[in-house]
Amino acid sequence: MIEEWQIDVKGYGLVRISGGLVEKLSNFRQLNTQAPESGGVLIGKHLNSGGVLLIDELTPPQKTDKQGRCEFYRSTEHNKLVNEIWRKSDWHSTYVGLWHSHPEALPNYSTTDKQDWQSALKQSRYEGDKLFFVIVGLTYIRMWMGVRASYQPKITMIGDYKIGK
């Protein structure tokens, strides 16, 4: 079983990513040359103690998504899933960000990724002023934090997790 991944974000607090979610994300690595990019939405709970945020669920790729080796388009089906999870959790589990995979060992975001993230920060409905963005690489999972701003959203890498030993 994978242990929880914790990132202490200066000026924000402790972001906890459950071991179960790290394991799910790891399963979407593009380990063979035919594997397409996958992606979805990150779901978590804003906490009062034991950390500021626990990210513990995701929406998996949907049939209505568009997937290619180096491209992923998230369909609106994810919105329906997030709303369903939110209702079933008595309004505790909520949209906290986005995730997708890349076919590279140490993933970095592309111009398209950055535009998608900036759009999410500006146009999505979410609690607070921050969203989290994960890219699953072949050997690392990396996370960025985006902050909504009136002019230009700010996106900063906050941590990486080495998959396996």
What would the pLDDT profile of 55-93 be if each residue is shown by its tens digit? 999 999 999 999 999 999 999 999 999 999 999 999 899
From CA 8, how far away is CA 15, in angstroms rounded? Answer: 6
When pLDDT is cut at 50, 70 and 90, the band that residue 153 belongs to is confident
| pLDDT given for residue 164 in this prediction | 83
Q: Are 44 and 80 in contact (CB under 8 A)?
A: no
If residue 86 lies in a helix (H) or strand (E), which one and from where to where? helix 77-88
Q: Are 95 and 43 in contact (CB under 8 A)?
A: yes
From CA 116, how far away is CA 152, in angstroms rounded? Answer: 13
Q: CA dihedral defined by 133, 152, 104, 68, rounded to 10 degrees?
A: 80
| pLDDT given for residue 165 in this prediction | 66
How many angstroms separate the most distant Cα atoms in the chain? 43
Structure tokens at 156: 């900063």
Question: Has residue 134 got a pLDDT over 90?
Answer: yes
| pLDDT given for residue 50 in this prediction | 64
| pLDDT given for residue 15 in this prediction | 96
What would the pLDDT profile of 19-64 be if each residue is shown by its tens digit? 999 999 999 999 999 999 999 999 999 987 667 899 999 999 999 9
Question: How far, rounded to the nearest angstrom, does the alpha carbon of residue 139 sit from its chain's CA centroid?
Answer: 17
What would the pLDDT profile of 98-108 be if each residue is shown by its tens digit? 999 999 999 99
